[in-house]
Structure 1
């Protein structure tokens, strides 16, 4: 054990050296505020003549209201459908002609648009992105065609997947007041009822300079990018950002359980507890310390091949193992409430109740016996390695900067998080396992195989193409 621990400590020293080397390959990110209130984040990385350009808007599904769920994601689609100077689809064709690639995504917290092009074409993609941010225009007919694509996306990714439908219902049960309870893609009834004006109003309301950030990572000079961004994005007129009213989830005071019956071959179990979220990796308050310990706890349970859940439930000969898969997750960052989740797919012939008991036992074992220093250092090493190797990707650098900005944090947050996680102790991990998983705050969902449940009705005619966006 001493030899293994010594080896792990040497590994941490090597990783620290790798972190320093990776950090020196990329300069410190710079933050600017444009004259209209838009944020600019620039991360130089001169290892290749390429650049990633991202536009982040701090608006996602949590900013929707009942009756228009999915509108943030629909707007993401419509942002590719034209401006007064660009025909529908022309944005993507021009990026491709520059030798680039592009896409976009919507989450509960944000919407982001990104392109990667040769560094000499940065100005061109900036002008394209600024144009559609300010001047997104399309016809009602264009909307009617694209909303069918979004409906088809929902059918393929949610309605035709029993597990996806279960998790959607689980989210709506585990949270009762906070808008995180709604699916990002939206409820089908809301998509059916959505109008072109719903989408235009959402764009007008939230796509304002003070609610957006431009992120540039790659072979660039920060001050030159600042001047370029000021001339292109800075001329967009500033507008007031709508007031965001607090929508807090009330405390949970009793266990919640549901069965979701579907025509599927395997059962599935999902468990969730509300948890404190990580507001700042450098903070020293009790909530932040608990959040850091929960990140480590999640990694101990499911952070590497052969972690605790895998060993206890999945490994073993057929007929003796409890689950085909088991996992743990903790959404530390978010504009809304955080949860710690455990999931498992029972092996053939194993009851869901037995798997739930086994998952609880693994939490209980850490709460009772704690973890060894060797195991603790192993997961820290694994996490540190992932963070270091992530820096090899210019896109990942831009993604990280944008993610921190969405949550009100600056470019140095990743380094602060790494440093803070190195300081998490075995006793802190044991403490959160003891205190933060009471039964009265638990929500449980079980996917129950039921052949009598009909699948999605058969359809006639061709499916709309989903595309990339």
Structure 2
């Protein structure tokens, strides 16, 4: 297939959609007397609403020796509070036909429910009770800790991809707490206690350390009335300041070699780069996002087109850059060596550097930039169709110290990036002094 032609056709197909893009939905914010911030985005296209409660605490905030604390606390909030027994909150929501879940990340812990608008008060009542009167008993934590340890075995210790990513992240953050795994190190999990959880809960689950995001078929007045009824009665508590995880400007080139039971070798490269909150200017972040898409964001992207589909030395090519962190981020490249046209990992790295050096020497063409820009903008517009996606972005922005308004400015800011801006971030950040490398080799069981 002619990937250049297919990319051009895709842009031609998407442009009418971009031109007809809806304006931003009405969005409101207010803060309760106890410090809880509430963001409401109206979306009346379907009779459904999502409620997400975001706490500004994650693995990056945990004291040394207590990794996994935030994730363990997330598990325990479903083990009962003053109004419900263990698992009862989930059962109530499921009986209403609602979907619900929770997650922990480096900077945040979030709980969310999607349900019918007239049921929103039920979600608020359950979450307000869980965030203020969770029992956190030792007899409940001991078996739950075993569940978390088994989760770690399945997702990390016994999963070559999870293990390699964890080791690379640890290597890539020599000065930052972002190198600590969200699920925790196994030896730290073995030492966590219910007393640790209770102390963390009291320190970090204050109303002033949380943001309630509501998106869907609701109005500001309805949400405000319910929020004041269920969350407004919670007492304000002192706040613990969250530090910004900052990385060394040029930590130096680092390398780790892993032997795993995999079918083909993998090369993983991670560059230390700024996030939305640590970049010198916002254009830097959007240029990095576009560079990520230009390298491996589609089948017509440079690394895939040249090394996966052209020279056929890679069987898979991925890149990633997440700007929504309180502290510095990583720009990662991850390739799997083709078993049909095998090359060494050193050779693979040399070929990738050739592609990166091309971008440093010559800016991308206007057509190439417009192709990847259109893809990014289209994804943002498509995400508006899902209220959960909208709430996730709003909650992420608010929780890292940015503003929900940044979501509505994103298209304009992406349109301001030039080919020279992309060349500049490539020259500045894709350097050996910012690089961590993982060589993941096929394990020889006979050694």
Partner of 1:200: 198
Partner of 2:323: 332
Partner of 1:131: 129
Partner of 2:222: 224
**Quick check: 1:392 aligned with 2:385?**
yes
In structure 2, the CA distance between the partners of 1:426 and 1:324, relative to structure 1 (3 Å rule), is: same
- Structure 2 SS opposite 1:329: strand
Aligned 8 A contact 1:11 1:381 in 2: no
Q: Please list the CA deviations of residues 330-374 of structure 1 after superposition, one character each: whole Å capped at 9, or x if unmatched.
A: 222201211211111111222111111111111111112221111
2:300 to 270, 295, 306: 306
- Structure 2 SS opposite 1:144: helix
**Quick check: 1:362 aligned with 2:355?**
yes
1:440 to 418, 421, 433: 433
Partner of 1:28: 26
Aligned ranges for residues 359-438 of structure 1 at < 5 Å? 359-438=352-431
Partner of 1:277: 275
**Quick check: 1:155 aligned with 2:153?**
yes
Hey, what's the Cα distance between the residues in 1 that align with 2:198 and 2:139? 14
Partner of 1:99: 97
Q: How many residues align?
A: 441
Partner of 1:89: 87
Aligned 8 A contact 1:301 1:328 in 2: yes
Aligned 8 A contact 2:308 2:314 in 1: yes
Aligned 8 A contact 2:8 2:371 in 1: no
Hey, what's the Cα distance between the residues in 2 that align with 1:230 and 1:187? 39
Could you tell which deviates more after superposition, 183-192 or 137-146? 137-146
Hey, what's the Cα distance between the residues in 2 that align with 1:177 and 1:440? 14
Aligned 8 A contact 1:69 1:187 in 2: yes
Aligned 8 A contact 2:255 2:437 in 1: yes
Structure 2: gaps (5+ residues): none
Q: How far off is 1:434 after superposition?
A: 2.2
TM-score (structure 2 length as normaliser): 0.94
1:16 to 15, 18, 22: 18
The alignment yields a C-alpha RMSD, in angstroms, of 2.1
**Quick check: 1:56 aligned with 2:47?**
no
Aligned 8 A contact 2:274 2:327 in 1: no
In structure 2, the CA distance between the partners of 1:276 and 1:247, relative to structure 1 (3 Å rule), is: closer
Structure 1: gaps (5+ residues): 455-469
Hey, what's the Cα distance between the residues in 1 that align with 2:446 and 2:261? 5
TM-score (structure 1 length as normaliser): 0.89
Q: Please list the CA deviations of residues 163-208 of structure 1 after superposition, one character each: whole Å capped at 9, or x if unmatched.
A: 2212211111111121100110000001111111111111111000
- Structure 1 SS opposite 2:354: helix
- Structure 2 SS opposite 1:201: helix
**Quick check: 1:321 aligned with 2:287?**
no
Q: How far off is 1:258 after superposition?
A: 1.3
Q: How far off is 1:290 after superposition?
A: 2.0
Partner of 1:458: none
Hey, what's the Cα distance between the residues in 2 that align with 1:251 and 1:346? 31
Q: How far off is 1:18 after superposition?
A: 2.9
Aligned 8 A contact 1:56 1:111 in 2: yes
Aligned 8 A contact 2:149 2:189 in 1: yes
